Amino acid sequence: MMSDSDQIKSDYEHSRDTYYDLINKGQESLDLMMQFARESEHPRAFEVLSGMIKNVSDVTDRLMDLQKKTKDINKDEKQVSGTTNQNLFVGSTTDLQRMLQEQDKMVDVTPNDSSE
């Protein structure tokens, strides 16, 4: 069974390959459509060409978004692995009691129950 990290890497690579394939096919289609639009000089052909350009641009943006999301995921994994398990309180017992009382005050705040 694959670990989460391996699955993320596999999904990233698959998505990246798919985006590259879509971009390459889109560019080939753009070349053909440009040639057709020039030859036909039909307004609809230029409209379709414009839509194709936007689609290729959108896929390129999604590829960059994929990069950013993957970096964010990897960054989060590194932060989780650096969790501090043991802390040491340096202070007097009075300081510790005050700190705990302050935490209790923050936890004891309950919202008003409007169902009464």
Using the CB atoms, write b or e for 71-81: b if 16+ within 10 Å: eeeeeeeeeee
Other Cβ atoms closer than 10 A to 38: 11
Q: What are the structural domains of the chain?
A: 8-81 (1.10.287)
Asked if 87 and 99 count as a contact pair (C-beta separation under 8 A), the reply is: no
Q: pLDDT tens digits for 66-101?
A: 999 988 888 877 766 556 667 777 888 888 888 888
CA–CA–CA angle 9, 60, 44 (5° rounding) = 145
CA–CA–CA angle 67, 53, 35 (5° rounding) = 135
Q: pLDDT tens digits for 36-61?
A: 999 999 999 999 999 999 999 999 99
